[in-house]
Amino acid sequence: MKRSLLILVLLIFSLTTMSAQDIADVRRQYQETLKRIEETDKALNANEKSVKNQLYRYNIINDQVKESQKYLNRLNAEYNKTRSAINELNKEIKALNAELEKRQEQYAKMVRQLYIRLNDNDKLMFIFSADDLSQSWRRMRYLNDYAKYQRQQAEVIKEKQAEIETAKADLESKRKEQAELVAEQTAEQNRLKKERSKQNSIVQNLKKKRSSLQAELKKEKQKADRLNKKIEEIIAAENKQSSAAGSSGTASAYAMSVDEKKLAAEFGNNKGKLPFPVSQAGTIVVHFGEQKHKDMKYVQTNSSGIDIQTKPGAEARAIFKGTVSKVFSVQGTNFSIIVRHGNYLSVYSNLEKVSVKAGQTVKIGDKLGTIYSDPDQNNLTIMHFQIWKDLQKLNPELWLKKN
């Protein structure tokens, strides 16, 4: 029984300790995400007249609602784990109490029997009434062993009582943890309700400005199409010019040297680990690929990368070592930089100033340029970021480390 209790306590302790550390990390990351999103929301809300800003706000609040729901699900899971631990501890306390009661009864019975049978005089008579000296020693040893067994049983009872107290303390701790989780769940549900209300308010506002929003989206699509066309032209031209080991590249594939193959492999192995491409805290306000808004079915966007809103003065930073392939500008998107990492490419657009030139080697984290802050949008600072593999567009969010 003692061994099984030890195993149970160690198991519960290890699981709850790991769980407590895990939920603490999740809580910290979630709070950091909330803080970053709230700062972005304030920056976007500073210019309420801009329908584009309002759409960005809708997007980040939508992300915030998703994050809140994920966090709430995690809290529910932790609550269930705590409830299971409490149930196990209750079962163990019940079993320990039953065993303690049984041992106490046995001990009391044993003491009564010994007292009735043998008082101090009886013990002496029991020893000296032996047939010979050898039998006297055996009787004496028997009485000593019996007394030792009594002491051992008393110690076992004390140990059981201590085990029960430990289990009760663990139970109290788990109940406290459970109460805290319930309070946190309630607070998170209320916060989630407020965010959904805020989101609904933005939707209603955008519905009133439907024509303006659609015109803005059309304008943004035209700029994005020009940028993507230019990027594709640059990549296709470089692919045709490339050669490795006597083999010529094609428009759709870049022929790599041995070193470039090694670099591309390193880049590929870092999927999900690459740093955020801006020097200051940033929030994704436009996601990769086709986005349909369930609350506004007339709004559909399709992005070849992600848009990151950050603070004025923020810089674009290289996500991996490589070579600056091209520095160019497209109407409406300011300067853009392409960095080649073998047959992978990272693209940084909407830069006001450029700090590198074509052919320059860069390291991870190197400054590439300063992101443009729009004075007409209350210095709104947004960088468009893409990742390509030859002529294939990749989802940057799958490659970047969680910010």
Q: Which among 125, 129, 128 is positioned nearest to 117, based on CA atoms?
A: 125
Question: What six digits make up the tokens of 259?
Answer: 């070193």
For the chain, the C-alpha Rg in angstroms (whole number) is: 36
Q: What is the pLDDT of residue 5?
A: 47
Give the rounded distance of the alpha carbon of 66 from its chain centre. Answer: 13
Q: What is the pLDDT of residue 250?
A: 66
Alpha helices in 129-257 (DSSP H): 133-208, 210-241
Q: What is the pLDDT of residue 150?
A: 62
**Crossing angle of the two packed helices 120-128 and 133-208, in degrees rounded to 10:** 130
Q: Is 229 left (phi over 0), alpha (psi -120 to 50) or beta?
A: alpha
Cβ pair 368, 385 in contact under 8 A: no
Beta pairing, strands 361-362 & 367-371: unpaired
Q: What is the pLDDT of residue 253?
A: 86
Report pLDDT digits (tens) over 76-103: 877 787 777 777 877 877 777 777 777 7
Q: What is the pLDDT of residue 137?
A: 65
Give the rounded distance of the alpha carbon of 173 from its chain centre. Answer: 25
Distance CA 17, CA 344 (A): 42
Q: What is the pLDDT of residue 111?
A: 65
How do the domains of the chain map onto residue ranges?
A: 2-207, 227-398
Residue found under tokens 């300011």: 334
Distance CA 43, CA 14 (A): 44
| Secondary structure class of 302 (helix, strand, coil) | strand
Could you give the percent of the chain with pLDDT greater than 90? 32
Backbone φ, ψ for residue 321 (5° rounding): -65, 150
Q: What is the pLDDT of residue 102?
A: 77
Query: Which residues, 6+ apart, have CB-to-CB distance to 90 below 8 Å?
Result: 171
Residue 360, number of CB atoms within 10 A of its CB: 16
Distances (CA, A) of 151 to 98, 145, 162, 381: 21, 10, 17, 78
Cβ pair 366, 317 in contact under 8 A: yes
DSSP 49: T
Report pLDDT digits (tens) over 51-71: 888 888 888 888 888 888 888
DSSP 376: G
Question: What six digits make up the tokens of 167?
Answer: 């289990």
Q: Which residues of the chain have pLDDT under 50?
A: 1-18, 245-246
CATH numeric code, 2-207: 1.10.287
Distance CA 212, CA 201 (A): 17
Q: What is the pLDDT of residue 105?
A: 75
Q: What is the pLDDT of residue 1?
A: 47
Distance CA 202, CA 54 (A): 7
Q: Which among 30, 32, 55 is positioned nearest to 45, based on CA atoms?
A: 55
Q: What is the pLDDT of residue 92?
A: 77
Identify the CATH assignment for 227-398 out of 2.60.40.10, 3.40.190.10, 2.70.70.10, 1.10.3330.10: 2.70.70.10
